[in-house]
Structure 1
């Protein structure tokens, strides 16, 4: 008898691998994108993170691009929807402040948002809320579209630039030293750049305060274009 009996084999004490699901795949994809960015994302790396075979992923998702769409929609769930009946400025401020925070936690989001339509159910719920706030304030037609573009472009542009800055200048002490050098340079050349030397305030590094003040300025401009209340 050459075949070893089942009952004589050592049992495998390793816990069984969790079953794959679309939810597990998307959660792992978000984590992989956080770690590696879009350029470092692949189905092979995703499968390795899940301790699964690459082909096993395709029983739950159609392609790499599908996974990216699902991951992008999933992070919108981190942005709370406002309470019904909230004032339009409060709705937009909360949505954009939270959107920036989400893009800071997930630096890959601005890149994906710029390259694909936001048609996932969570993203569309936020877009509905955004458009409804501006439409309820009285904007319609091209004015409404322009207001949406101005607000979203401001938030995305600010977040993308901040992400690049934070990825490049990581240490706070290095950032402070660089800002001091730039301010010193402007001061030395104040005869050429008097306005910059006096007002640029290069050493001001409050990204949160700067974002929220800039957002108020954009909202003030939109409010000035609203039709009069009758």
Structure 2
């Protein structure tokens, strides 16, 4: 996986003691999240972070060793916005749906997450706690390796891919009227070439801008498939 080469991950290193009082790791992480929200990953640098915190750049290195350390900490921090369902009596589909709906909201709120997921190891304590509950819900449903791992990967890929595309679209098409007209143009174009694209002309709902409903329908299809693989046991 990209991002695992080079210096050892922040989460595997001894964090040490004795930090200077002017800064704290919490303040650095909060500033990093704000900077990432405003500038994205490409606009993030230790120099810009230091300027936001009104300290010298080298002051940051008393608390972290690398820029990647800060990215790991920021990524783990925003995962805390996904509430953990500790109730083992919650039906597995409800637990997963709640988790993934929240995940989408968090990735829409912090659009830089989709640029980091897949390049940074999700092994911070907050991320692992949420992964633990996610795996536990599928295990409770009756899945086990390797199907459980395949189900996790499929659900993760769906949410990540859906939101990544959604974020790119929303960054470029910001006016609702402009979007509606664009969708109408696409519909007219496809209809005009129905002999070439008959399935699209009959089935594609290009005017449907309900991304929330589309997300839930797609998620239900995947969960239906997972449910169909679960062995109901005797009777």
Q: TM-score, normalised by structure 1?
A: 0.90
Q: Which residue of 1 aligns with 2:42?
A: 39
Deviations 1:171-196 (A, max 9, x none): 11111111111011011111211110
User: Quick check: 2:86–2:133 contact (8 Å CA) kept in 1?
Assistant: no
Cα distance in structure 2, aligned partners of 1:19 and 1:96: 38
Superposed displacement of residue 207, structure 1: 0.5
User: Quick check: 2:111–2:167 contact (8 Å CA) kept in 1?
Assistant: yes
Deviations 1:126-170 (A, max 9, x none): 000011111111111110110000101000000000000001111
Cα distance in structure 2, aligned partners of 1:224 and 1:90: 16
Matches within 5 A, 1:92-103: 92-103=96-107
Matches within 5 A, 1:1-230: 19-85=22-88, 86-230=90-234
Superposed displacement of residue 61, structure 1: 1.4
| Larger-Rg structure | 1
Moved more, 152-161 or 166-175: 166-175
State the number of aligned residues: 213
Cα distance in structure 2, aligned partners of 1:229 and 1:163: 42
Superposed displacement of residue 225, structure 1: 0.2
Q: Which residue of 2 aligns with 1:6?
A: none
RMSD value, Cα: 1.1
Moved more, 66-75 or 187-196: 187-196
Structure 1's consecutive aligned runs of 4 or more residues displaced over 3 angstroms after TM superposition are none
Q: TM-score, normalised by structure 2?
A: 0.88
Gaps of 5+ in 2: 1-20
Cα distance in structure 2, aligned partners of 1:89 and 1:201: 27
User: Quick check: 2:76–2:127 contact (8 Å CA) kept in 1?
Assistant: yes
Superposed displacement of residue 217, structure 1: 0.5
Cα distance in structure 2, aligned partners of 1:174 and 1:219: 34
Deviations 1:100-130 (A, max 9, x none): 0000001110111111211000000000001
Cα distance in structure 2, aligned partners of 1:59 and 1:117: 23
